[in-house]
Structure 1
Amino acid sequence: LVVGDVVGHGINAAVTMGRLRTAVRTLADLDMPPDELLACLDDTVRRLAEEDADGADEFPVVLGATCLYAIYDPATRRCTMARAGHLPPAIIDPQGQVTFPDIPTGAPLGVGLGIPFEAVEVELSEGSVLAFYTDGLVESRDEDIDVGMHRLGAALAQPDQSLEDLCSSVMETVPTQAASDDVTLLLVRIRTLNATQIASWDLPPEPTAVHTARHLTTRQLNAWGLEYLVPTTELVVSELVTNAIRHGAGPIRLRLIQHQVLTCEVFDSGGSYPRLRHARIVDENGRGLLMIAQLCRRWGCRSSTGGKCVWVEQDLPSTASVALAADLKPAGSVTRFLPAPQRKARREYENRVSTLGAPA
């Protein structure tokens, strides 16, 4: 979740906001924590300013942009936020109580003060609402900004309304004194994954953990009715847990999440992040992540408390494809009904196992 505001108006400010929006989307794909993302964005703004100052750019970058960036985890109801000179968000609990969390302000982007950004983690209640906004909604020449924020909080204290209706009522209730200032309001309803959608296990950093992880994964997918994904997910779990044992540190945690996609996460305490390699024919290692990239929708890694998490997403099969596989597949095999890239990667994995031995 992100909201930002560029100082000034006109074509220069619009161009700057477009460049920052692109940078934020790119950095967000890297799964960076909010404070680290703002630090990289701050460097980007200053670098753009330096390049524009050296060249004959017709639209020089505008300094003094603000930003509020947050990451919400629906499995834990934890939200991590950091801000660069932006106003704090409003949190409206299900009873209508409004609070503004105490998040270190941070310097606006591109100012170059060298002060590190700080992130704050808060736990949110199911059904509560997060409100992100720009200063045009609360700032006035005639009033202190605290008055505007209090007025905004009073208008937001209606969590039973739909988000669309709440947006409309806030915009009607809160006067915007500065007609020339931009006004943005982003509302987010907090939802939590059901406990039945999540399965998690702690594993020892020992070779036998790979077999245990495969067994637990198969049992859980069968319980969810996702037998169709067992061959691919077994391969994914084997590779991720093996990498955590060989290149990670400390205890290992495996987590499966079924929500829109099937997500497989492996946590460890190591600081070494995996990278995709294109192994040569004579190499005996280095193909694991390449196969995962071919088999799955997407994969990535992110920092977590005390270590890192490597995650993989798979598309959930449609009801029609599962029914077809159930009617036509030979007993004990679903590999032939996988899409062509997955069949190829699966065969490569089986050949690797038969040649080198199963992982651990």
Structure 2
Amino acid sequence: MRAEDRDRAHTAMLDALFTQAPHGLWICDAELRVVRFNAEAPGVRGVRAADVLGRTIDELGISGTDEITSLAEHVLRTGEVVRDRLVRGRPLSDPTKEMVISLSVFRLHGDDGEILGVAAIADDVTERERALDRLGVLHEAHRSIGTSLDAFRTADELACVLVPRLADAVAVDLVDEVLRGRTVHPGPVTAASPMRRAAFRTTATEEAPVHTGEPSTYPFPTPYTQVLNDARPRVVSRLGADERWLAADPERLEALVSAGVHSLIVVPLALRGSVLGLASLYRFARPDPFQDDDLVLATEVVAKAAPHIDNARSYARERTIATSLQRGLMPGRPPVLSAVDTAYAYLPEGAGGDWYDVIPLSGARVALVVGDTAGRGIEAAATMGQLRTALRTLALQELEPDELLTRLDETASFLAATRSAGDPPEENFLATCLCAVYDPVTRVCVAARAGHMPLMVLAPDGSATPFDIPAGPPLGSNGAGYASATVTLPESSLLALFTNGLVSTRGRDTEAARSRLQEILAQTDEDLDHLCDAAVYELMPSKPQDDAVLLLARTRALPADRVTTWTLPADGSVVATARRLVEHQLAAWNLPGSVFTTELIASELVTNAIRYGKGPIELRLILDRTLICEVSDTSSTSPHMRQATPTDEGGRGLLIVMQLSDRWGTRTTATGKSVWAEQTLPDLVAPP
């Protein structure tokens, strides 16, 4: 080929490249002025050549100029070739659109090696990068949304995924019923339905128009109410002040205009035909409006969040039911007793199975109980109710704490074995429990524990009183039984029973927390209710993860003049003596109206002890908030009431005792048994 033909071919090829090639071709001189460019390339199509040729890259004023200039200067200086560098900017042909180019730059040399300038090849990869960006947003949504069962946190995770990747601001509003854990029925949500702001994220520095947790309502008709009505997403590509629907919501109009919002998307948080809320996306910082592909992406991301929002609603519902069940199964205000003054703090924050109880027993005694059921939710609350009922029943059978826990462990093992089919709980036990029985007559406290933390005892001066209770196995773990400990307490001693939620939270030194609790309770001049509050303020974390119970009891001693005891021989002649002793004592207590009934009860109990018991008989009268008559002997055989037939000469004694008293029963003692009967008398003056 001749030289002139070759030059003509080279010229034709260059002309074709700069007029027909789909790539952006740019040639700049050594001062980075544009010498030639492909006018048909994406991003400059329709731009006049006079507006480009002879200008430096900086003078073009396109978005991304600084990065392009920096790359060109680097290539011009070093000769290093830059390949496929991604640059984001806005094209000369349409500055309102964002464009992504893959830029390759190399240096141009003359035949003599002179540096002539740089050449650049730009490929439009906007659609490819947008697809990758969409995949990145979906991946981030899959990774980040739904890390908890809290609706507010899930809504915030959704907003964080969308801002700033897709929108400049996102507001998430949930139907109030969802946040309350109630069932949301399929179908439209009316504009009058209450909603609350669950999350708001923005790239701006302005304060959110509606704060998290506050009501967020939408007047009718607007795109928001239309989405609530038919659960179909909406996109408003160009938002102008002349939009007719804005007249229905002038307050929101003012907020949108002041923020410079020019485009919005409203997507329903919907699942199985039920609308749970709305996600509203706004653009004001980036000039390009939302398009249909943005709507598709936003809908996919919101759809990933909807099941997690519904899971949070279900969890809130179960937690509400469990907490309500737990509260319903708990005792009311502890009874007023002569044995102890009580106060409690009950915090079912974790919807678990913590419980407490104060159970009046015979002989003016009282049982103090705290327990902690394994797990949480409805099943834990139901198990707690079963255990508490069983424990109260066993306590009223006058069992000692060690025997009581042994029997309760049998019940717990049965409950664990008969639970509904499904995975067993992570714990290999059902509950822990601590039971203490205090007698105000002798000031003796007997306690046993099943896997529970020890009882804390403080003397009247606030110092710690040693009370080493053997650590038995938790309930339901098929333990080998329990042992109790006994201590005699001075009057006004303080007993503190609590669950681990008060002192053993995650990341905390349990022993340090127990020491701090002891310091708080050592304030002997404080009211018990104030001590409970002080312990909660000091020890409970701001966001509790577990239930907590604190039960305080300040001991009292029954005055000596309110208790009278006689020891009688096991002889039939002492029945009359017992009647006279009762008469004289009731006269001393100024209870003349109770003489006949109490004499009859005492004579029947003494007769029963003489006939069926062993050894000497002890008759005791206690004037508490009731009048208590007790007869004890050395036989361990408990009496049983039976119905006597018309021809029987005996067998009616216990029936008479039952009919004359309000309560009666039998308890085992260290030397035998004691049969007791209580009367509630209208003329009885209760001790202070």
TM-score, scaled to structure 2 = 0.44
Give the counterpart of 1:163 among 528, 540, 562.
528
CA distance change for structure 1 residues 286 and 140 in 2, over 3 Å: closer, same or farther? Answer: same
CA distance in structure 2 between the partners assigned to 1:243 and 1:59 by the alignment: 51
Change (3 A) 1:19 1:100: farther
- Residue 601 of structure 2 is matched in structure 1 by 236
* Whole-angstrom distance in 2 between the partners of 1:237 and 1:60: 52
CA distance in 2, matches of 1:168, 1:250: 52
Shift of 1:47: 1.1
Separation in 2, partners of 1:44, 1:205:
40
Superposed CA deviations along residues 306-346 of structure 1, whole A, max 9, x for unmatched, are 11111000112238xxxxxxxxxxxxxxxxxxxxxxxxxxx
Residues 1:265 and 2:630 are matched in the alignment: yes
Contact 2:416 2:430 in 1 (8 A): no
SS of the counterpart of 1:290?
A: helix
Aligned to 1:101: 467
Partner secondary structure for residue 419 of structure 2: helix
Question: 1:218 aligned to 2:583?
Answer: yes
- Matches of 2:617 and 2:655 in 1, distance apart? 22
3-state secondary structure, aligned to 1:184 = strand
Report how far residue 150 of structure 1 moved: 1.6
- Structure 1 residues 259 and 61: alpha-carbon distance in aligned structure 2, compared to 1, 3 A threshold: farther
Offset at 1:215? 1.2
Helix, strand or coil at the partner of 1:200: strand
Asked if structure 1 preserves the Cα contact closer than 8 Å seen for 2:591 and 2:683, the reply is no
**Separation of aligned partners in 2, 1:28 and 1:106:** 18
Any residues of structure 2 matched to 1:108-127 within 5 Å, and which? 108-113=474-479, 115-127=480-492
Structure 2: distance between partners of 1:194 and 1:99: 23
Counterpart-to-counterpart distance in 2, 1:48 and 1:196: 47
Who is 1:298 aligned against?
Answer: 663
**Residues of 2 paired with 1:105 and 1:59: CA distance?**
25
Alignment match, 2:454: 88
TM-superposed CA distance for 1:176, in Å, is 3.8
Q: Does 1:195 align with 2:550?
A: no
Partner of 2:157: none
Structure 1 residue runs of 5 or longer lacking an equivalent are 320-360
How far has the Cα of 1:258 moved from its partner? 0.8
* TM-fit CA distance, 1:137: 1.3
- Asked whether the 8 Å contact 1:156–1:166 carries over to 2, the reply is yes
d(CA) in 1 for partners of 2:577, 2:437: 32
Distance in 2 separating the partners of 1:180 and 1:189: 29
When residues 300 and 60 of structure 1 are mapped into structure 2, their CA distance, relative to the original with a 3 A threshold, is farther
Q: Which segments of structure 1 move beyond 4 Å, counting only runs of 4 or more?
A: 56-62
Structure 1 residue aligned with 2:620, among 255, 263, 284? 255
Distance (Å, rounded) in 1 between the aligned partners of 2:542 and 2:373: 19
Unmatched segments (≥5 aa) in structure 2: 1-367
What is the alpha-carbon distance in structure 2 between the residues aligned to residue 133 and residue 101 of structure 1? 15
| Distance in 1 of aligned mates of 2:643 and 2:423 | 42
The answer to whether the 8 A contact 1:49-1:60 is kept is no
Three-state SS of the structure 2 residue aligned to 1:289 is helix
1:36 maps to 2:396: no
1:177 Cα deviation (Å)?
Answer: 8.1
Deviation at 1:118, TM superposition (A): 0.8
In the alignment, which residue of structure 2 is the partner of 1:335?
none
Of structures 1 and 2, the one with the larger relative CO (CA 8 A, separation 6+) is: 1
What is the distance in 2 between the residues matched to 1:35 and 1:51? 25
1:146 equivalent among 475, 494, 511:
511
| In structure 1, distance between residues paired with 2:613 and 2:423 | 49
> CA separation in 2, counterparts of 1:120 and 1:182?
27
1: CA distance, partners of 2:536 / 2:374:
22
User: Is 1:207 aligned with 2:572?
Assistant: yes
Q: 2:389 maps to which residue?
A: 22
Corresponding residue for 2:380? 13
Q: Residues of 2 paired with 1:129 and 1:39: CA distance? A: 27
- For 2:651 and 2:426, the matched residues in 1 are separated by 42
Give the drift of 1:57. Answer: 8.8
Aligned to 1:334: none
How far did residue 58 of structure 1 move?
11
Residues 106-157 of structure 1 show CA distances to partners (whole Å, capped at 9, x for unaligned) of: 00000003x1211111111111111100011111443443222222211211
CA distance in 2, matches of 1:279, 1:60: 51
Q: Which residue of 1 aligns with 2:412?
A: 45
- Deviation sequence 1:195-239 (CA, Å, 0-9, x none): 111111111122222122111111101111111111111111111
Amino acid at match of 1:19: Q
**Partner Cα separation in structure 1 for residue 596 and residue 403 of structure 2:** 37
Task: Report SS of the residue matched to 2:553.
Answer: strand
Q: C-alpha displacement at 1:41, in angstroms?
A: 0.7
Partner of residue 79, structure 1: 445
Which is higher, the Rg of structure 1 or of structure 2? 2
* Cα distance change, pair 45–77 in 1 and its aligned pair in 2 (3 A): same
CA contact (8 A) 1:140 1:177 kept: no
* 1:246 equivalent in structure 2: 611
Residue correspondences, number:
317
SS at match of 1:86: coil
Residue 61 to residue 21, structure 1, CA distance change in 2 (3 Å)? farther
Question: Is the contact made by 2:629 and 2:678 (CA closer than 8 Å) also made in structure 1?
Answer: yes
Q: Offset at 1:100?
A: 5.0
3-state SS, counterpart of residue 556 of structure 2: coil
Give the AA of the match of 2:406: A
Give the 3 Å change call, closer, same or farther, for CA 215–11 of structure 1 in structure 2. Answer: same
Distance 2:493 2:437 in 1: 16
Tell whether the 8 Å contact from 2:606 to 2:631 is kept in structure 1 after alignment.
yes
Quick one: structure 1 residues 235 and 105, their matched pair in 2 at CA, closer, same or farther if it must change by over 3 Å? same
User: CA, structure 1 residues 240+60, in 2 after alignment: closer, same or farther (shift >3 Å)?
Assistant: farther
In 1, Cα distance between the equivalents of 2:495 and 2:524?
A: 10
Asked whether 1:69 is paired with 2:421, we answer no
Structure 1: distance between partners of 2:486 and 2:400? 11
Mapped contact 2:437–2:447 kept (Cα < 8 A): yes
Tell me the CA shift for residue 99 of structure 1: 3.4
Q: Distance in 1 between matches of 2:398 and 2:521?
A: 31
Letter matched to residue 153 of structure 1: Q
Secondary structure of the equivalent of 1:52?
coil
How far is the alpha carbon of 1:98 from its aligned partner? 2.1
Once residues 142 and 136 of structure 1 are traced to their aligned partners in structure 2, the CA distance between those partners, rounded to angstroms, is 12
Give the letter for the 1:155 counterpart: I
User: What's the C-alpha RMSD, in Å, of the aligned pairs?
Assistant: 2.2
Contact 2:665-2:677 within 8 A present in 1 as well = yes
- Corresponding position of 1:342: none
What are the residue-to-residue correspondences of 1:122-137 with 2, within 5 Å?
122-137=487-502
Q: 1:178 to 1:78 in 2, by over 3 A?
A: farther
| Amino acid in the other structure paired with 1:255 | R
The alpha-carbon deviation at position 60 of structure 1 amounts to: 8.7
TM-score normalised by the chain length of structure 1: 0.83
Instruction: Name 2:115's counterpart in structure 1.
Output: none
**Aligned counterparts of 2:422 and 2:596: Cα–Cα separation in 1:** 54
**Counterpart-to-counterpart distance in 1, 2:608 and 2:502:** 49
Distance 1:146 1:100, change over 3 A: farther
